Amino acid sequence: MKELTQLNIDGILSDEQTAAINEHEKNKPLSVHWELRTLLYLGILLFTSGIGILFYLNIDTIGHQAILALIAVLCIGSFYYGYKNKLPYAHEETKHPSPFFDYVVLLACLLFGIFIAYIQAQYNVFGLHYGIAIFFPTILFFICGYAFDHKGVLSLGITGLAAWAGLSITPLNLLQNNNFSDTSIIFSCISIGLLIAGFAMYSDKKNIKKHFGFSYNNFAANILFIATLAALFGQPYKLISVLFLAAISFYYIKYAIEQHSFLFLLLSVVYSYIGLTYCIFSFIPLNGEILLLGFFYVAASCAGIILFFINYKKILHIKK
């Protein structure tokens, strides 16, 4: 290492100390923690996908009842393992010592969701009340998220809550599958976003699973910003949308500084920039001079954003 050699040359480290540090760096164990976690998550997703494909290709020979029975057995077995090995509930974050615990719990919840979706699709047990078919797994996901202190299951619950309200909020579907020209969809997005953000704020003040705040606010921020921009672009409530966008941006910039979170700072600045640019080019009459100034605005604002994020550590009060 160049730094280590320079310290030795400067006389800060002796030859023995330099050799010892070099030996330690060469022989220290390499952490594969995140690699293993990624492989386990992929394993669960591939397993559930494989079960679905297997059943689909052999539905005529296996039978619906046998498929449902197998899913139920796997689900119950996974929940039993989670229940027998879970740690006592605490408002603070609890980490299970077993590396497989989180993945078995996630598998149990995914299988439960598959089971409910299967019996609804095949036997229509809930009739036309599709909201009920979403409501029960959503409640279970929230309960399991808190009981097992599992962020992944909590995210399933948040997604189910939004789906129950008629929204698609997975990253790729948020913009594609929601009709933001419909005012009711926009109001539903804003309502769900405010509900999630408000509950995150309440939990943080009451010190109840504060580490869940990132998951709640990540969903809430994207929903609120996108719905507000959709209202600004396609609805007549321009002034209200601008004011609401400013309020959301202020809140999440403040939240980003408190949590030292680059993500929420990035979301706030990017979404605000989109809204500000739209307002400038929409509300000002366009002519040759204005267009020229517009080009300067785009260049200057891009440079400003680059400088802004070069100095983001100072804004977030991050020392290192």
239 and 142 inside one domain: no
Q: Is residue 25 part of a domain?
A: no
- The torsion angle over the Cα atoms of residues 79, 81, 85 and 87, rounded to 10 degrees, is -10
Q: Over 90: is that where the pLDDT of 310 sits?
A: no
284 and 318 inside one domain: yes
Contact status, residue 188 vs residue 166, Cβ threshold 8 Å: yes
Average pLDDT over residues 7-27: 70
227 and 293 inside one domain: yes
Query: pLDDT tens digit string along 269-284?
Result: 999 999 998 888 887 6
Instruction: State the Cα–Cα distance between residues 210 and 204, nearest whole angstrom.
Output: 5
The whole-chain average pLDDT of the chain stands at 82
Lowest mean pLDDT among 22-36, 64-78, 105-119, 215-229: 22-36
Average pLDDT over residues 159-172: 70
Average pLDDT over residues 114-134: 83
Q: Over 50: is that where the pLDDT of 171 sits?
A: no
120 and 240 inside one domain: no
**Beta-carbon neighbour count of residue 225 at 10 Å?**
23
Q: Is residue 232 part of a domain?
A: yes
Token pair, residue 56, equals: 């689909």
Contacts of 247 (CB under 8 A, 6+ apart): none
Mean pLDDT: which of 8-22, 25-39, 228-242, 293-307 is highest?
228-242
159 and 46 inside one domain: yes
201 and 317 inside one domain: yes
198 and 155 inside one domain: no
Token pair, residue 103, equals: 């993945």
DSSP state of 311: T
251 and 205 inside one domain: yes
**Beta-carbon neighbour count of residue 310 at 10 Å?**
9
User: How many structural domains does the chain have?
Assistant: 2
Q: Which of 97, 130, 164 is the last residue of a domain?
A: 164
DSSP state of 211: G
More confident residue, 64 or 107: 107
38 and 147 inside one domain: yes
120 and 62 inside one domain: yes
Q: Is residue 279 part of a domain?
A: yes
Q: How sure is the predictor about 288, in pLDDT bands with cuts at 50, 70 and 90?
A: low
Mean pLDDT: which of 34-38, 58-62, 132-136, 146-150 is highest?
146-150
Range of the domain at 276: 186-320
Contacts of 229 (CB under 8 A, 6+ apart): 241, 245, 271, 274, 275, 278
Q: Is residue 213 part of a domain?
A: yes
Q: Over 80: is that where the pLDDT of 1 sits?
A: no
Q: Which of 164, 195, 224 is the last residue of a domain?
A: 164
- Written as one letter, the residue type at 291 is L
Q: Is residue 138 part of a domain?
A: yes
Q: Which helix (H) or strand (E) holds 53?
A: helix 33-57
pLDDT of residue 242: 94
Q: Which helix (H) or strand (E) holds 270?
A: helix 262-283
Q: Is residue 1 part of a domain?
A: no
Q: Is residue 260 part of a domain?
A: yes
Q: How sure is the predictor about 173, in pLDDT bands with cuts at 50, 70 and 90?
A: low
49 and 125 inside one domain: yes
Query: pLDDT tens digit string along 182-237?
Result: 788 888 889 999 999 999 999 999 999 999 999 999 999 999 999 999 999 988 88
pLDDT of residue 220: 94
228 and 110 inside one domain: no
pLDDT of residue 108: 93
Q: How sure is the predictor about 142, in pLDDT bands with cuts at 50, 70 and 90?
A: very high
More confident residue, 77 or 166: 77
Q: Is residue 121 part of a domain?
A: yes
pLDDT of residue 283: 72
Q: Which of 133, 164, 195 is the last residue of a domain?
A: 164
Q: How sure is the predictor about 80, in pLDDT bands with cuts at 50, 70 and 90?
A: very high
Query: pLDDT tens digit string along 19-56?
Result: 777 776 666 665 555 666 677 767 777 777 776 777 66
pLDDT of residue 141: 95
